[in-house]
Structure 1
Amino acid sequence: MLDLEKNCRVAVVQCSPVMFDKDATLAKCINLIKQAGAGGAQLIVLPELIIPCYPYGMTFGFTVGSRQEEGRADWKRYYDGSIVVPGAETDALGEAAREVNAYVSIGISERDAVSGTLYNSNIIFAPDGSIAALHRKLKPTGAERFVWGDADNAYFPVVASPWGPLGNLICWESYMPLARVALYQKGVTILISCNTNDNP
């Protein structure tokens, strides 16, 4: 039987991004991580797709059978604001987690370094600053499928913590019974559902 700590101080950070500005949002998130850590948080949870943003209400100029040029430009901005993992942005976030000695869960738009596909992803950083888990949303919800691809690897990674295994579901994955069962079978005792209210 594992000797687990009974209490965990959690900071749930409800914040908005600097829309489409990866660098400004990254700086904001790092500042918020440091504030939460200074308050004694041992697990810091930031919203889904905080970097670069959740593009609520955007169509990127897409309708069935056509694309508009303005939408293509918006898409390119969003694509460029998405994060390659690992990379400079994850290094900076990991350093912030290390500075405050806390687990950090953060939602990002991830850009695959090989295929270029975007994924609605969540990263859990360990207190030493390393990437402990990267989870890609299994099936983007509704029109999200025009933006992000289906997860293609590392399904439901689990992180060992002093309080028990940490697992993650992103937004509507919380409504998937078999996703919850998959984490339960891995012994997850702390479930981080990194949601946003979808409003910038």
Structure 2
Amino acid sequence: MKKFKQARRVLKPTLKREIAALKSIANYKKPERVVVHLGNVGDISSSGFAAKTDSYSSRFPETKFIGIDSSFLSLKSKRNNWQQMKTTFNAGLRKLKDNSVDIISSELALGYYDSKTTETTNAGQGNFKRYTKTTINTAFKKLKPNGKLQLAVTGSVVLNVLEALKKAGFQEKKAVMYELSGSELNRTFWFKEHKKIPIYQIIVVK
């Protein structure tokens, strides 16, 4: 009988710890992944980037998708994990917490220049380069450690973008760059009239 009581005294705290551990597991909430897309609206159509990020939010409910653009795409989404920000890239990124984002992507919205480019129309390409550099620096601050920045850029600006990525602090050893094929462009990008311009995919890690 004494041995039985001693065993109970030993087992009781052990069982309490195990029960507490099980409750902790049951209440555990998986950390939310956050994906930000710069240039969310695209060509304002049913296949535009905003429609894509909205679709992704349905397929991946544990990931929050945030689209930043100078305009909205009118979609009646009721999902809590999908959000549009109508603002500039820098202003939108600054609203996010530092070290909070898993992936930031841009498909030519950042690494592309023409006379209509937002924030650069009046000042020309020199201002575009400064704006790109500032946006990359802000993106670096917002990414989690080992977070990824994925950019599609034209060949005319790729060297400037690579230099800005290096100065921002992204890991050179883990950087990946390759030229996108025609089929990838048709599937991915909204301006099909620029097929002859070489476009590169750059993926860097914080």
Superposition TM-score, scaled by structure 1 size: 0.33
Higher radius of gyration, 1 or 2: 2
Q: How does the TM-score come out when normalised to structure 2?
A: 0.32
Considering fraction of residues, name the structure with more helix.
2
